[in-house]
């Protein structure tokens, strides 16, 4: 069964593309994994995933219409097209604008139950990963998580991925997310931390440069940066 992982968050800069990058490093040598960039605004994943793009395992697509609204037929067409490929895992990076419109797409254009029917028609499994950042971005990220959890209502697997570095000095907020997840009675399957990279250190700068340049695991030359990135890969 092909599994689709939708990385979403309506707040820009929360860490969606970083999560996708770590997933790509984890499956860099796995030809069964494909990556789809639906971010029409920045196309960050296309740049950051250059190391797998060279292996023709990155697909770029725009699901907006001329009015910059999600066109559901385009979304369906992308997923149907990808479903015909031999890949077993598909990681989809939704941009902030696309993520922002997902709730209205499900409530206005078609229902969550209809999307469930679509999943079953593909013979696939859909997994939603909501990225949450701390600091000043936290409140809007958290509200988005709550909205998605209520909208999906347990019909799909849902995970909260907390961008750990952004929660430094805001650790109690991690507990708030965990408490909320426990209160959803399984609608949020788990709360996972990732991205604990100290950007003010030389290792953190090395990692940041590699991410921006779309470099793979072989480009992590120093012991410190290689150890840290391997630790982060294990989290996703």
Block residue for tokens 């907020």: 173
Q: Which three-class secondary structure state does DSSP give residue 100?
A: helix
Query: What ranges in 87-235 are assigned the alpha helix state H?
Result: 96-104, 112-122, 138-152, 171-183, 202-213, 223-235
pLDDT tens across 64-93, in order?
766 566 677 888 899 999 999 999 999 999
pLDDT at 156: 97
Distances (CA, A) of 197 to 38, 57, 194: 26, 26, 9
The continuous run of DSSP H or E covering 90 comes out as strand 89-93
Cα 84 vs. chain centroid, distance in angstroms?
A: 22
pLDDT at 56: 84
Residue 124, phi then psi, degrees to nearest 5: -120, 180
∠ CA 33-39-42, rounded to 5°: 120
Strand pairing of 33-37 and 2-8?
Answer: unpaired
Position 43 scores a pLDDT of 60
β-strand 2-8 against 58-60: which pairing, if any? Answer: unpaired
- Give the global pTM: 0.94
* Residue 87 to residue 97: CA distance in whole angstroms: 27
Residue 41 has what DSSP assignment? Answer: T
- The per-residue pLDDT for 127 is 98
- For residue range 172-211, list pLDDT tens digits in order: 999 999 999 999 999 999 999 999 999 889 999 999 999 9
**Contact (CB, 8 A) for 11 and 95:** no
Q: Is residue 46 a contact partner of residue 58, using CB atoms and an 8 Å limit?
A: yes
193 DSSP β-pair partners? 162
The conformation of residue 108, written as its DSSP 8-state character, comes to: I
For residue 18, what pLDDT is reported?
Answer: 94
What is the mean pLDDT, run by run of 10 residues, along the chain of 236 residues?
97 94 96 88 74 83 69 86 96 91 81 93 98 98 97 96 96 98 97 94 94 94 95 96
Q: For the chain, report the end-to-end CA distance as a whole number of angstroms.
A: 20
């Amino acid at each position: 069964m092909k599994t689709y992982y939708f990385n979403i968050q309506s707040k820009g800069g929360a860490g969606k593309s970083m999560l996708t990058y770590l997933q790509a490093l984890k499956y860099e040598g796995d030809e069964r994994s494909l990556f789809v960039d639906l971010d029409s605004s920045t196309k960050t994943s296309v740049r950051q995933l250059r190391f797998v793009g060279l292996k023709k395992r990155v697909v770029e697509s725009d699901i907006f219409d001329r009015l910059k609204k999600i066109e559901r037929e385009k979304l369906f067409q992308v997923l149907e097209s990808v479903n015909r490929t031999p890949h077993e895992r598909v990681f989809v990076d939704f941009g902030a604008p696309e993520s922002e419109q997902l709730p209205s797409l499900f409530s206005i254009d078609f229902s969550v139950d209809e999307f469930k029917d679509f999943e079953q028609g593909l013979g696939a499994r859909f997994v939603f990963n909501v990225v949450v950042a701390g600091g000043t971005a936290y409140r809007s990220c958290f509200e988005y998580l709550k909205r998605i959890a209520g909208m999906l209502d347990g019909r799909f697997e849902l995970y909260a991925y907390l961008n750990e570095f952004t929660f430094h000095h805001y650790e109690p907020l991690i507990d708030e997310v965990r408490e909320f997840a426990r209160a959803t009675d399984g609608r949020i399957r788990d709360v996972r931390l990732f991205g604990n990279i100290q950007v003010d250190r030389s290792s953190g700068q090395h990692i940041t440069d590699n991410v921006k340049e779309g470099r793979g695991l072989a480009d992590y030359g120093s012991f410190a940066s290689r150890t840290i990135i391997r630790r982060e890969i294990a989290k996703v």
